[in-house]
Copies of this chain bind each other. A is one copy, B any other.
Amino acid sequence: MPKVPFLPFSIFLGILGILCWGLTVYWSQHWLGSFAWDGSPKMFNWHPVFMVTGMLVLYGTAALVYRLPFSQMGSKLPWKVLHATLTLVAFVFVVLGLEAVFEFRNVKKTPNMYSLHSWLGLSAVLLFSCQWLMGFTSFLLPWTPIWFRALYKPIHVFFGSTILGLAIASCISGINEKLFFRSKNSTTPCPKLSAEAWFANILGMLILVFGVLVLLGLAISGWKRPDVNSQDIREPLLQEAK
């Protein structure tokens, strides 16, 4: 992979992540009708905001923690703890995002889990929870044998990228679905590129670019921690804390 300077890349990615988050908040606030936590349609509007916050921005940030230049030297433990904390906070947002949509539908008495978006999204969340538990058990607790850590690490890395890919696909199918729902309730016979559709489609494409750039950041071999298969596997949390 060609040499890419880390600092401008990460600044650009940071701005893009904030932009994705801000545009999602603006869409929910301006077009979908603002927020509430009362089972009304306004409760649904937390769903895109929490999902983009958790499964995209925080998850993407957590994935790139080990690529920070100052994380490359010394103990890996603080970065492991930061990675686990960021993904845990991301997971809390994801659970709140699910609660927002389930509670809204239960109050409205409409069925849950009928669309492919919901099947895909729930698969991503289930894989994410398994990934977090397996990561915590394998890399932060002392009683997991080293051979298992070495075996599991490439699986953790592979599913880390895969889950991000599923999250991007979930965001895109969710935005697409919401726009179709809204055009269904309008008087327009066929969905056209309204101002809102332009806005939400551009948001979807920015989410895609953000996700692909995170995957690119993970793929650049020069940014990987040199001791990728040795010290980090042998350094669980409780051992360090002794």
Contact = CB atoms under 8 A, between A and B. Distances in A.
Nearest to A197: B114
B158 A120 contact: no
Interface string A219-230: 101000000000
Report which residue of A113, A158, A168 has the largest number of chain B beta carbons within 10 angstroms of its beta carbon: A158
A179 interface: yes
A2 interface: yes
Contact of A179 (B116, B168, B205, B216): B116
Interface in A183-220: 184, 190-193, 197, 200-201, 204-205, 208, 212, 215-216, 219
Copies assembled = 2
A131 interface: no
B158 A216 contact: yes
A200 B158 contact: no
A14 interface: no
B111 A193 contact: yes
A1 interface: yes
Nearest to A115: B176
Nearest to A203: B116
B158 A190 contact: no
B177 A176 contact: yes
**A176, A197, A212 pick with most chain B CB within 10 angstroms:** A176
B2 A191 contact: no
Nearest to A2: B151
B116 A190 contact: no
Interface in A95-136: 110-111, 113-117, 119-120, 123
A84 interface: no
Contacts of A197: 114-115
16 contacts: A2-B151, A111-B192, A113-B193, A114-B193, A116-B176, A116-B204, A116-B205, A119-B201, A120-B172, A158-B215, A165-B165, A165-B168, A165-B169, A168-B169, A169-B172, A177-B177
